[in-house]
Structure 1
Amino acid sequence: MSTFPVTLITGFLGSGKTTLLNNLLHDQQMADTAVIINEFGDVAIDHLLVESAIENAVVLQSGCICCTVRGDLVDTLGDLVAKAERGDIPRFSRIVIETTGLADPTSVVRLFAGEPLLAETFHLRAVVTTVDAVNGMTQLDKFEEAARQVALADVLILTKTDLVEPQATNVLRDRLHHLNPGAEIIPVVAGKLSPDDLFAHAPAAPSGPDGDVGRWLKLDAFGPREPHRNGHDHAHGDASSSHDDHHNHDDAHHGHLHHDASIHSFTVTLDAPIERDALRGWLASILSLRGQDLLRMKGIVNVLGLDGPMVVHAVQDIVHPPMTLAAWPSDDHSTRIVFITRNISQPALQRSLEAMAREHRVS
């Protein structure tokens, strides 16, 4: 059964999110899209209005359906589908959800991963975060919410690039890449980005056994793999370690503490196959001990006895149902898991995986 792809657009206050949305709502390419916003007053739709639908939804000249969140987001999504099925609004094939500028997108991401009834009808395709090229550095310095919005993104829209010098833009890009190496960074001027460009840059998680994991994982963005390890020469480590064993970058650049200094992006690898029970136990340990600090995890695992890799994906303590691909995407059959965490180090997770595999006598 096919499900509706959902794109979440988030961004800090003043980052150009509303401008981006206004431009999208004008575009005829949005004709089969339903957009959920927090307040109609925030988005200039009066001159785009074609007809009022029932209650909290309107249809725009572009054919796009625009509605506000009414109570629970789950109820709003259900209402949209019901209205389309009754013919109250045009049918749509995808959904865009806007969050408020101070919102932590984690709660919405967790909702799609942890609500079984929601998963039957919708799947989260991507998180898109707008970042202000003028004020982005300051916002990352002062507000943890801004750093978390960047860390959770699949795509980063860098706005107002025409208002700053190229050198300043490059410094901000470097910082964004450090926070989230796997996210694609797209500079825009005046919020002008076509829907085709937006959705093309949003890599979807594999939805079936023949899914493509390459664009979704973007492992190359996280640098070269760690040296070959099977866990025989490392001490046991556990996932509860709260700080980095070492720092491989200057978290305190510019001479003061940053709110993103505690956020780390890295890859954990294992060459030998791992037993399913070992993987299950390792994930359960991480989630129970440090789930709130696990901003995002996604990867492919070489599970003993399977022909293809198992795809794992989690946000905080919510795990998507694991899925097995029919075949490996390349000749590299190693386990590779990308983490974005808060105050959890790569060495701690690497050692814990090796220890778990060693205890099950696979590595």
Structure 2
Amino acid sequence: MTIPVILITGFLGSGKTTLLNHLLRDPEMADSAVIINEFGDVAIDHLLVESAIENTVVLQSGCICCTVRGDLVDTLDDLCAKVARGELPAFSRVAIETTGLADPAALVRAFLTEPILAERFDLHAVVATVDAVNGAGQLDSFEEARHQAALADILVLTKSDLAAPAAIADLAARLKTINPGASLVPVVQGQIAPAALFAQVPAHPSRRSGDTLAWLNSEAFAASDSAGSHHDDGIRAFAVTLDRPVTRDALRGWLRSILSLRGVDLLRMKGIVALRGEAAPMVVHAVQQVMHPPVQLPAWPSDDHTTRLVFITRNMEPEALRGSLEVLVARAAA
């Protein structure tokens, strides 16, 4: 059984630590491991500390808390080793708070590519906090803020009590343009129960195939099909559909070519693909150049057997992606 990981990101001053503090006060989070980048805005040391072991502290809530002293892989491996030796209590989930200037893509890739992490941990959700007062300006000025919003599964709109309703509505509309598939949750002082927050994320099909359509959420992308803007660094969200099934080789070749040629601009891609000659579809998921291991479902989740792919990209056009897939399908058929 793998341990679920929650990655909390967000720009400087957007309320990451306030949200994390509130979550950790809930008894549901009592057996959590908390990892904070050492350059974080605010430490959570005002949560009473019960005992300290080297660079690790056990909070009064029962959570294990530490700062990243080097590579994330080493930090998590060290925590697991201390639990195995009985030096720390066992934990059933991990919460990681990034720095305000971090691009979460690197951490997402680590959980997909590092064998030590992939065997023990499962990245359950990327949560990005967005300041309702200053968020629009940060999206205008900082690429990191745009990438944090684009890669999120949940967008937590903080300080929503301090912003004018019209400004909140404009910011929410812009965030939906950048990332139509993410849940948008307004909070005040970070006050939301863990169960209510994490319930916003459908399970990946590898964990529960019944949630595939909610996980894909292609309707939101089809309705958005945003044209992007200069404000958001050419970030565009859209859906691509294909009526004809594809061969495994054609799918593999197309994915390989897209990731190798344009992977840096492929912020996120998810899809359900009809395979030629097979009764069940394949689920694919990529973050930039890294592909999550494809999963074949036991059956189609609905009567619609169309291939559906959703993208969040930078300076990529849906027509080009659709055309490249159709060319590979045609070649394979010939």
TM range (shorter): over 0.9
Q: Distance in 2 between matches of 1:183 and 1:173?
A: 11
Distance 1:268 1:206 in 2: 20
User: 2:68: which partner in 1?
Assistant: 69
Q: Deviations over 1:246-301 (max 9, x none)?
A: x95472xxxxx41x140011111111110011001111111111111111111111
Moved more, 170-179 or 283-292: 283-292
Where in structure 2 are the equivalents of 1:1-363 lying within 5 Å? 2-39=1-38, 42-52=42-52, 54-208=53-207, 210=209, 212-223=211-222, 249=227, 251=229, 257-258=230-231, 260-361=232-333
The answer to whether the Cα contact below 8 Å between 1:208 and 1:323 also exists between their aligned partners in 2 is no
Equivalent position SS for 2:211: coil
Structure 1 gap ranges (5+)? 226-246, 252-256
Determine helix, strand or coil for the equivalent of 1:150: helix
Q: Which amino acid aligns with 1:83?
A: K
**Is the contact between residue 28 and residue 63 of structure 1 (CA under 8 Å) also seen in structure 2?**
no
Output one character per residue of 1:3-22: Cα deviation in whole Å (capped at 9) or x when no partner. Answer: 11111100000111111112
The residue that corresponds to 1:228 in the other structure is: none
In 2, the alpha carbon distance for the partners of 1:148 and 1:201 equals 20
Instruction: Tell me if the contact between 1:155 and 1:202 (Cα under 8 Å) persists in the aligned partners.
Output: yes
TM-score (norm 2): 0.95
CA deviation profile, 1:221-255 (whole Å, cap 9, x unmatched): 11359xxxxxxxxxxxxxxxxxxxxx95472xxxx
Distance in 1 (CA, whole Å) between partners of 2:24 and 2:43 is: 9
What displacement does 1:154 show? 0.4
Letter in 1 for 2:70: G
Secondary structure at the aligned position of 1:332 is classed as coil
SS in 2 for 1:7: strand
Q: Is the Cα–Cα contact under 8 Å of residues 268 and 346 in structure 1 kept in the other structure?
A: yes
Shift of 1:109: 0.6
Q: Helix, strand or coil: the match of 1:197?
A: helix
Query: SS state of the match for residue 120, structure 1?
Result: helix
Matching residue's letter, 2:292: H
Q: Is the 8 A contact 2:210 2:301 kept in 1?
A: no
With normalisation by structure 1, the TM-score equals: 0.88
Distance change >3 Å, CA 322–CA 355, structure 1 → 2: same
When residues 307 and 183 of structure 1 are mapped into structure 2, their CA distance, relative to the original with a 3 A threshold, is same
8 Å CA contact 1:273–1:304 kept in 2: the answer is yes
2:241 touches 2:306 (CA, 8 Å); kept in 1?
yes
Contact 1:22-1:43 within 8 A present in 2 as well: no
3-state DSSP of counterpart to 2:323: helix
Gaps of 5+ in 2: none
| Cα distance in 2, alignment partners of residues 36 and 132 from structure 1 | 22
**Identity fraction in percent:** 61
Question: Quick one: distance in 1 between partners of 2:54 and 2:215?
Answer: 37
* 1:336 aligned counterpart, secondary structure: strand
Contact 2:13 2:41 in 1 (8 A): no
Partner-residue secondary structure (3-state), 2:258: helix
- Amino acid across the alignment from 1:102: L
Aligned to 2:33, the other structure's residue is in SS state strand
Question: Offset of 1:197 from its aligned partner?
Answer: 1.5
Give the number of equivalent residue pairs: 333
Deviation at 1:211, TM superposition (A): 5.1
